[in-house]
Amino acid sequence: MPALPMRATDLQQNIQTALDLTQHKPGSYCLPGQVADPVGPCAVVIFGAAGDLTKRKLLPSLYNLAACRLLPDAFAIVGFARAEMGTDAYREKLRQDLSAHATSEVDPALVQKLVERAHYVTGNFEDPAAYERLAQTLRQVDQSHGTRGNFLHYLAIAPNYFAEVARQLERAGLVRESAEQWRRVIVEKPLGTDLESAQALNAELRKVLTESQTYRIDHYLGKETVQNILVFRFANGMFEPTWNRRYIDHVQITVAESLGVEGRGGYYDEAGALRDMIPNHMLQLLSLMAMEPPTSFAAEAVREEKAKVLRSIAPLSGEKVLTHAVRGQYGDGQVGGERVPAYRREERVKERSNTETYAALRLQIDNWRWADVPFYLRTGKRLAARSSEIAIQFRRPPLTLFRDTPVEKLTPNQLVVRIQPEEGIALHFGAKIPGPSVRVGAVAMDFRYRDHFGLTASTGYETLLYDCMKGDATLFQRADTIEAGWGIVTPVLEVWKALPARNFANYAAGSQGPAEADALLSRDGRQWRKIEAP
């Protein structure tokens, strides 16, 4: 059976491993007693090998996997990019990039081992001759490193090249599989800009790749706390019976950033907060939190249950968009004690831009488990703090028992899954305040990963790369879930395009967001959790 979506590889072994954590070296990616098996022979081909994603995330991730002995000796890296460079120069670049961006202190011998297995091909993504050179290099790599024709192509490139690169790989015979050889392709977000473009991209990829070869990556699903949602829900008998409309009042999913657009104004001004975060990261969090128990942890069983959740979300009609969706844009303000400029004054942003830097939705899942339980999603730039979390608020118990006491109301219980920057889980509940009268105070039981398992220095891509090389698609998105996500947000995009915002900027940098977002919950008699640093 495929591994649980929580490394390494078996949950019971992980629990046993926790007994040795006092010996865990701070800053290391590996845990003592790690029991995951290394992947089989393969070569990783990185398109966009000279880019930012490669040097900051992919190379450090491969180094961490090597440090954990999860990469085989029969392994190679092949970089493909436009930059004119020979293999020797590329190897030196890898050495420098790892020195600058590794998540922990590097072992020179291990770096050398990786560098010796690195090769480079210069080429244009649209040039068939470049793919012939790539095919020749991979044949040499098979001979020199024993990679056996198993190739993982990582498209760390602009989305408009995804379909073209896939077509060129097929023409060059580099994605044709056999009983002895696997060929897989990883594509990064954004996968489309709306439902129509997502459907068109999936159709183009299907012409040359099977669904089992296509790995649509979402780095959020590489985070330990996100993977732990399934284990937390389904391995703990005290929570699963209450995970439904009878006990849960509502759910809040927050992805807040204190940073602005950080030099990405050109991209962000075309995308906006809704496109950038909700169809992918946030709906993936929602589907993990709300899915039915799968029949097993096999990839298709898990992914099918996630898809069912997205298909069950009631679409927002034109009128509902006006009452169930909120957009905002930050103005001048203070973040971390420093004055920061308004969005419209950021580099490469239009002077009168109507692009939202904040988006909030009220969604409803129309199924037996979640009927009448609202799911509130919010994401934004330049908010009060960096914080990603899922907050499950339980229904209040009846007050009848406390009618002859000073207790005026009972604070609802909350279960908060913190994703970043501080990973952990907190349970908020009521307890009696010491004294002669009955008074109830709010207390919390707080689990933090760093306290129990130590700090693990990772990029968030290690598990995803490892799973792809192993052929486990559990944490990757299928074509139908991509399209379902866009189907949920496209009606909102269409209304916002037809009715441009008239009151931007409508929240100050460093604040909790626009007042309209508070009204989204207050109309239901609820309120957002405060965005603050842990």
25 found inside a domain: no
**Integer Cα distance of 482 and 301 in angstroms:** 17
Polymer length of the chain: 534
Looking at the structure, do residues 151 and 237 belong to the same domain, yes or no?
no
At 24 the pLDDT is 41
Whether the Cβ atoms of residue 331 and residue 342 lie closer than 8 Å to each other: yes
Last residue of a domain, one of 143, 163, 188: 188
Residues 184 and 237 placed together within one structural domain of the fold = no
For residues 273 and 170, give the distance between their C-alpha atoms in angstroms, rounded to a whole number: 35
- CATH code of residue 247: 3.30.360.10
Tell me: do 71 and 132 sit in the same domain: yes
Q: Which residues contact 408 (CB under 8 A, 6 or more apart)?
A: none
What was the pLDDT predicted at 443?
63
My answer on whether 166 and 247 are in the same domain is no
Residue 22 lies in a domain: no
Model pTM score: 0.88
Considering the domain architecture, whether residues 234 and 319 belong to the same structural domain is answered as yes
- Is 249 found in the same domain as 329? yes
| 252 and 303 assigned to the same domain | yes
485 in the same domain as 386: yes
Question: How far is Cα 121 from Cα 84, in angstroms, rounded to an integer?
Answer: 9
pLDDT at 90: 95
Q: CA 44, CA 76: separation in Å to the nearest integer?
A: 6
Q: Smallest Cα–Cα separation from 395: which of 415, 419, 378, 376?
A: 415
The answer to whether residue 477 is domain-embedded is yes
Domain count, the chain: 2
Taking the chain (534 residues) in runs of 10, the rounded mean pLDDT of each run is 41 37 48 70 96 93 92 95 94 94 90 95 96 97 96 95 97 94 94 94 96 92 81 86 94 96 86 93 94 90 95 90 96 92 93 95 96 97 95 79 55 87 80 62 71 70 93 93 95 94 93 96 94 84
Select from 113, 111, 153, 147 the least CA-distant residue to 131: 153
Picking from 131, 165, 188, the residue at the C-terminal end of a domain is 188
Measured CA to CA, the distance from residue 328 to residue 511 in angstroms comes to 12
> 155 CB contacts (<8 Å, ≥6 apart)?
47, 48, 161, 162, 165, 166, 185, 186, 187, 188
The CATH number assigned to the domain holding 169 equals 3.40.50.720
pLDDT of residue 173: 96
User: What pLDDT is recorded for position 442?
Assistant: 66
Judge if 184 and 245 occupy the same domain.
no
Across 119-138, b (16+ Cβ under 10 Å) vs e yields bbbbbebeeeebbbebeebb
Structure token pair of residue 231: 């284990």
Query: Does 418 map to a domain?
Result: no
pLDDT value of position 455: 60
The Cα–Cα gap between 5 and 474 comes to 7
Does residue 236 sit within a domain? yes
Q: Please write the tens of the pLDDT for every residue from 412-455.
A: 788 999 988 888 888 876 666 676 655 566 667 777 777 766 66
Catalytic sites, residue numbers: 281
- Of 188, 213, 238, which one is at a domain's C-terminal end? 188
Question: How does pLDDT run across 27-78, given as a tens digit for each residue?
Answer: 566 655 556 788 999 999 999 999 999 999 999 999 999 998 999 999 999 9
Residues of 486-511 as b/e, b for ≥16 C-beta within 10 angstroms? bbbbbbbbebbeeeeeeebbbbbbbb
Q: Which structural domain, as residue segments, surrounds residue 184? A: 38-188
Residue 449: predicted pLDDT: 72
Question: What residues contact residue 331 under an 8 Å CB cut-off, 6+ apart?
Answer: 342, 343, 505, 506, 507, 508, 509
Q: Could you tell me if 235 and 174 lie in one domain?
A: no
